[in-house]
Structure 1
Amino acid sequence: MASYRDVRDGEISFTCKIPSTVSSVPGSFDLLFYAPSSYSKTPSPKKHPLLINFHGGGFTIGHAYDDARWATAVTSQTSAVFASVEYRLAPEYPFPIGIEDCVSAVLWLWKHADEYNLDISKTAFSGFSAGGNFVYAVSIRLNQELERLKKENKLDGLKEGKLVNLVVFYGSTDYTESRAEKDASNPNLIPVIPPLLLKLFDESYLYLNPDKTSPLLSPGLASDQLLRDAFPESLVMINCAGDQLLAESEIFRKRLKELGKQVDGYVVEGVGHGWDKSPSFKRGNVKRDEAYTLAVKSLEGVWTSV
């Protein structure tokens, strides 16, 4: 089992700013790249798998470098390039703008794959908390956007990649339940985020009153056919035993398995939401390292089999 030290922006390999081409709200945002030691930006026949990451923070706070420790786990154990998306945040940019930014990032990376030596037939997504919800939502929205572009004959030479794995750390799947109902669903709840902050997140992201049954908000309510079409065959779900999101996430895991998806991962016992984000310094965090190692092995297994 590897041990992943605490890192932040000091480990970023390079960055770039790109336009949001999918959103109806014009703007741009940053991509932060973490690359393995074998990577070179100069043209090369060596192509690298691509992991696109969506950070957490209740859709309202947080930054693309928040998952630097996870990026280090991936880039130190695989040959993949890790691109973390600094999508625009609520309340200035409420649902679904962040999702559309992330879809724009996927399409941009696919379009510029040769420039960055990326093997886009080995594309995967990862995300934590709100970013975990984005993993599901972006997969669905990407599927919809590709269908639209094909129907309107607007691919414009885009090289279409292949989504081969999703890695979700404690992501929400059902926005139709209230926070009180989510809390009540877990008798072993370990409160982490103050209720007032959760209220701020929800009101900021949802202030335009979208339909909470939308699969882009509640992927757990998406149709079977949409999940079959939009999701790859392999996923990883790491959930927290003390999380208010545990019940809905485990229901979704069961449903995806029933649809024939291979779902790796497990429930981390004795921890609450976001347990892996706390600074550990020299103490380390065995549970975090075990979860990251499993997720990396799942990614590597898919990448080497494609």
Structure 2
Amino acid sequence: MSFAGNYIPKLKAPKRAKPAFVRSISTAPQGSKPIELFFYTPPDYADRKKTGRKYPVVVDFHGGGFCLGHATDDRHWARVVMEEVGAVVVGVGYRLAPEHPFPGPVDDCIDAILWLSAHATEYSLDMSQTVLSGFSAGANLAITAPLRFEFFTKMHDQMLSVPSQASDLSRWPSTQALIENSHLEELNICSIVAWYPIVDWTASRSEKRRMSRMPKKTLPKVFTDLFDYSYLPPPDVHGYHCSPYTSPALAPDYMLNEGLPSNIQLWLCEWDMLLAEGEKFGHRLRSLGKNVSETMIPEVPHGFDQSANPLRDQAKIDDLYRQACQGIRDVLKQH
């Protein structure tokens, strides 16, 4: 029986994790809606915190096409990560389009990571063992955020020599924060876990849908239009669609080499219109020497694990999450 066809639920389905506490951080400009950070902590967190020991941290970005969803959507993922990795999971409530289109969500993810770095001691976080995870739009943010850090830490001069990639960055709120921040030396993003990411905005949705393995199973046009017009409304006068911070698949080699960690997991869906670009991106990363674990989950659509269907097989989804956690553990052992 296929994964998609197995709808018989377990008698006792595993419960979603509950955030232990929430913190709000200010955003630019002043007076804007704050970013909320939802902390999921392992059972021994309070006792271990008293001894001064630190936890690896998984910073998670939810999906929803940049305009829907909530930071608590990935609570099943948070539960499995805590169980299998023993890490603190932080769900980032980045601001949503259309009120906050690109580059707003990217800025918010940068601000969240900077805030965690600045408060690492207070919350017993080992930022030298930071993993970024994300689902769909959130997976895009998990890939593009490290590229933004790289702009200021290693590749500043090279980026300025490529005007098409450096244009308008000086006006982004996160730019000055990155320049002034003193906590980046403690930050080491050692892995990315990207679930069915969008990595190329330059190809049309109709083309992606037409080239997919199961067009009838792809996201409906009404949703993809909502996502696309909210996050990157036309006309594309700034060239944002081909920016490495929206389309990391189009980033130059040196950005991907220096900006992304060596270890990356790509979890792709067979019936997703994003499958082909995800596979192409994985192939390119491997050609650059990255250690890419790429898994195509058979016979499932985009967002299969986020379905509201009460009959979905959460136990099988958890098995996939555990496989991803094994990859995280293997990386953390190296650091």
> TM-score scaled to structure 1, two decimals?
0.91
Residue aligning to 1:252: 281
The aligned length equals: 302
State the shift of 1:304 in Å.
Answer: 1.8
**Which residue pairs with 2:46 in the alignment?**
40
Equivalent residue for 1:175, pick from 181, 189, 201: 201
Residues 156 and 302 (structure 1), Cα distance of their counterparts in 2 relative to 1, 3 Å cut: closer
Identity, % of aligned pairs?
36
Question: Any conservation in 1 of the 2:14–2:314 contact (CA below 8 Å)?
Answer: no
Whether 2:27 is the aligned partner of 1:20: answer yes
Aligned-partner residue type, residue 196 of structure 1: V
Match of 2:265 in 1: 236
Relative distance call for 1:230 and 1:5 in structure 2 (3 A) is: farther
Could you tell me whether the CA contact under 8 Å between 2:282 and 2:294 is conserved in 1?
A: no
Kindly report structure 1 stretches of 4+ aligned residues shifted beyond 6 Å.
Answer: none
Q: Deviations over 1:95-132 (max 9, x none)?
A: 01001000000011011000000111100100000001
Asked if 1:204 corresponds to 2:233, the answer is no
Secondary structure of residue in 1 paired with 2:147? helix
Q: CA deviation at 1:154?
A: 2.7
* In 2: Cα distance, 1:289 partner to 1:197 partner: 27
RMSD value, Cα = 2.6
- Which one has the largest radius of gyration? 2
Structure 1 SS opposite 2:333: helix
Partner in structure 2 of residue 216 of structure 1: 245
Instruction: Measure, in 2, the Cα distance between the counterparts of 1:241 and 1:296.
Output: 21
Q: What corresponds to 2:70 in structure 1?
A: 63
Q: Name the aligned partner's letter for residue 80 of structure 2.
A: A
- 288, 291, 301: which is aligned to 2:320? 291
**Deviations 1:173-199 (CA, angstroms, capped at 9, x unpaired):** 100000001112213335243211210
Name 2:220's counterpart in structure 1: 194
Q: Determine if contact 1:190/1:271 at 8 Å carries over to the other structure.
A: no
1:273 to 302, 312, 327: 302
CA–CA distance in structure 1, aligned partners of residues 232 and 59 of structure 2: 25
Q: 1:135 aligns with which of 125, 130, 142?
A: 142
State the 1:24 CA deviation. Answer: 9.5
Instruction: Report the secondary structure of 2:46's partner residue.
Output: coil
